[in-house]
Structure 1
């Protein structure tokens, strides 16, 4: 766990979603998909809130927001930013697998936009989804983001040829892990899923799928073009992307995928 905390210490995680148009599209797509479930008074918990790019947005919309983040430095930055912006939200240092400070059946929405990138065991992934199920009201909404292992393989081919080895690719394909010393430390502490796996994970813990979207589409492969768009071109491309992001054939090639599902009223978890 300390290795993961170290990965997010001294990192401009907040700027990640703003410094390039391709990452702005990830944020804009996620907010577009979530927007119909967010309104003033909505009780929303974000697991893995980092420095608050999403949680602060939720709070600014009038949502009753709880932000949970593992890395102490990021928690401190989030608290400072909330104070600077005059926003009220509950902020906790904690782990997505266990949030005992959030009451059962109390939340309208649970957003998990980072933890599934790093929960490397099936037990941890199950715990995170069970905990989301616990805190959500009946018919509450879960939103789970993940990084596609198929995209990661493609990125290695494009940017890190030293990782194109039988061992690295077979391990990634079979387990979603990249334990190679030749890889950046982010990949060593990462977990990379398949779209089908995410649907199965959410489904087996008492949720019914609503939407499954590619938050980047194939945009990462054409990032040079996207990042050099004018603002008008970006908006045109974003509008096109939002019309196609539900296309199943795009899921594996997208850097990030996002699953939205509704808590069923059964006791199955």
Structure 2
């Protein structure tokens, strides 16, 4: 399973994913906006699953001391090159988010986990990732945990192909968060899709207190072509509306991505 995951991201254009269309831009813009309250006073930040460095480089440019952790060698190479191209200094490690023993205990103000949980199918490994974040955070440090909603994925399967709408596939997704059908691509076969309440419970069980929980995309993915056709001025208007309502609990679960922000007990 990990080999299939590694191959998928080795050949996927992750560099452009967050900027290539409005419905993906809103993920980045919302995440940055929601983290602003917590990052403005931070000095040290570690990102698990940094990919090509879109977030890590952004925060390094803001003056933070950033450690970027990424598992896929091809993404690590691109991350390093991006840092050079943008004249940014980062501490970069090729490693699994379940073990970041190279980061000292209680040394970080912020930890970002904005992708690893999308593909960690074993509960014990998801717990290990959150536990590592807790270990390296200072007292009162903040973790941001992104997830993909299994409720959204059910609708996405319906849009992809009617052949995917079967009791077998939908029950598996609803009960386990997995989609193992050979009819879907590697992203889904290697994915883990969570319930919003599950991510809250996961962070709380490892010693965190929930500060915020937002629907990162809202319902924008359901009207994707309309959002993508917006002018820049219209997109900014939609973004401002979305930022006003993204904390509305009724939107959680229907959003493609969710974001839980939590603080380590002092």
**TM-score between the two structures when normalised by the length of structure 2:** 0.98
Residues 3-43 of structure 1: CA deviation (Å, up to 9, x unaligned): 22111002110100000011000000000011122247610
Quick one: distance in 1 between partners of 2:41 and 2:84? 20
In the alignment, which residue of structure 1 is the partner of 2:176?
175
Alignment of 1:222 with 2:256, yes or no, is no
Q: What is residue 107 of structure 1 aligned with on the other side?
A: 108
Unpaired runs of 5+ residues, structure 1, are: none
For the Cα contact (< 8 Å) 1:41–1:62, is it kept in 2? no
CA distance in 2, matches of 1:43, 1:182: 43
Rounded to whole Å, the distance in 1 between the matches of 2:4 and 2:264 is 33
The separation in 1 between residues aligned to 2:215 and 2:42, in whole angstroms, is 28
Output the CA distance in 1 between the equivalents of 2:81 and 2:162: 41
Residue pair 1:149, 1:192 contacting (<8 A) in 2 also:
yes
Q: How does 1:5-154 map to 2 (within 5 A)?
A: 5-39=6-40, 42-154=43-155
Let me know the Cα RMSD of the aligned residues: 0.9
Shift in Å, 1:160: 2.0
- Whether the aligned pair in 1 keeps the contact of 2:4 and 2:186 (CA below 8 Å) is no
Cα deviation for residue 159 of structure 1 reads 2.0
Q: Mapping of 1:206-221 within 5 angstroms?
A: 206-221=207-222
Deviations 1:32-66 (A, max 9, x none): 01112224761000000000111110111111000
Alignment partners' CA distance in 2, 1:131 and 1:41: 19
Do the aligned residues in 1 keep the contact of 2:44 with 2:109 (CA within 8 Å)? yes
Conserved? CA contact 2:68–2:90, under 8 Å: yes
CA distance in 2, matches of 1:45, 1:69: 11
Number of residue pairs matched? 265
SS at match of 2:129: helix
Match of residue 265 from structure 2: 264
CA distance in 1, matches of 2:42, 2:203: 26
1:199 corresponds to: 200
SS in 2 for 1:8: helix
* Dislocated runs of 4+, deviation >3 Å: none
Cα distance in 2, alignment partners of residues 162 and 184 from structure 1: 14
Deviations 1:192-250 (Å, cap 9, x if unpaired)? 00001011000111000000000100000001110000111000000000000000110
Query: Aligned partners of 1:103 and 1:141: how far apart in 2?
Result: 16
Deviation by residue 1:58-100 (Cα, 9 ceiling, x = unmatched): 1111110000000000000000010111101100101110001
Structure 1 259/41 Cα, relative in aligned 2: closer, same or farther at 3 Å? closer
Task: Determine helix, strand or coil for the equivalent of 2:10.
Answer: coil
Contact 1:50/1:75 (<8 A) preserved: yes
In the superposition, the TM-score normalised over structure 1's length comes to 0.97
> Could you say which residue in structure 2 is the equivalent of 1:253?
254
